[in-house]
Structure formats: C-alpha cells, structure tokens
Chain A
C-alpha cells in the first residue's frame, strides 16, 4: 500500500517527507511501547504510535522502519521532526486513536506482518 493511500485512509497530515509518499509499505505495527517494538517486530515498514519523543524515531531507525504515524492528534516537537528528517523518514499525524487507525488500515488490506517469536 502506498503511503499516499495511507494518508487518505487515516485523514492524516504529512509532517516530514511529503515528497516520498509514493513509497510502498507491505505491513505495519501499532505500539506505544518501544521496548516491545524492539523485542517482537520483524520487517515492518510502518509504525503507528501515540508516543511522540525522539526515541520513537531512533527505535524506527534501528528496526528499518521508514514511516511513522503519530495517532490521537499527538504533535511531535521540531527536534523530533528534524531527527526524522535526517533519517529520511516519512512522518504523519492523525487524530484517530490507535484502534480505529490500525483497524482502518487492516481493513484496507495492510497486513500485520510477521512477528519474532
């Protein structure tokens, strides 16, 4: 699924990487706990989270996650956005809470992807 489609489905606003919306992602994960993302996520290209600190970007960097969507209308600081920019990530935000945000993407065909055991 293209990031541009995801933007439409979630009625999201693009904060960083607006010219990269042609990028395609094949799976996603939703978590507010970065420890769990590091522990269990495998090969996910999109992260939905309600956490808005810089460690979200760093966690995504370590996991090769190239796109992050902040949910529940959370607003990251300029510092967080500039970190994401330096890592060439796409950052969006949506007013939707976690459950409907994930649900809408799943229903539209974006899979959960594999999880490490």
Chain B
C-alpha cells in the first residue's frame, strides 16, 4: 500500500455552527489545486461537509485527518461525542435526532449519513456510547 502524498489535519470547533464547513472548504481548495477531477472533488466535499456538520451538531466538534494518495482520498473524522446508539437506524434516510434549532438552519432531515455513504466508495463507522465516533471514508480517484 502506498503512503499518502499529502496529509491534512483540521480541528472542528463544536461550539460555533457558523464555522462548520471550513475544513471541507479548505480541502476542496487543496484538491482543486492538485488538479483532481471535479467529480471526485464534489464527492469528497459533500461527504466531508455532511460529516463536519454532524460533528458540530451532535458531538461538540472533533478532529479531521485527510490523506491524499494518487489513487484515493481518505477522510477520518474523529469526535468524543455521545456515540451513535443504533448505526443502522442512523443510516436510514429521514431518521434524525437533530434539534429544532438545527432543523431551522436547513439540516437535520436525516440525510447526513446516507449522503456520506452515497458519495464515498468506502465508509466505516466506529462508535461507542459515551466515548465517541470515528467515521472513516474513502473516495477512489478513477
């Protein structure tokens, strides 16, 4: 397995919803500069943005590590939030535990995790109640 060509690290502030998306925007910019195809960039940006939003609304923030290799982009989102009690249920379109406040901001429609799955080639969720959640996603560069 080849070593990533580039590693990026971001801290997501869990107290400020207005900055959710900063990391995804920054990664999008880097990928564009690297000449990655628009389709791959879009997939990475959407999956990462959904995950970043989730980290802020559900888990008080966390850290994101992005590894860019010649054949794939891997995004590891790690939080120390409450954990996901039922991952299968959380993966169901339309299922949401988001607050009314979050819904008023245009999110919380229960599309986050299904969207991440849809736009990535590999997705792994490692979660433990009261400990935190790690969402590990990979998009292949074809």
Contact = CB atoms under 8 A, between A and B. Distances in A.
A57 B12 CA distance: 18
A56 B49 CA distance: 12
B24 A62 contact: yes
Interface in B85-128: 105-112, 114-115, 118
B111 A61 contact: no
Nearest to B111: A35
B28 A62 contact: yes
Contact of B20 (A33, A36, A38, A58): A58
A63 B28 CA distance: 11
A-side binding surface: helix, strand, loop or mixed? helix
Contact of B109 (A33, A58, A64, A79): A33
Contact of B106 (A55, A64, A87): A55
B42 A55 contact: no
A50 to B, nearest CB: 10
A76 interface: no
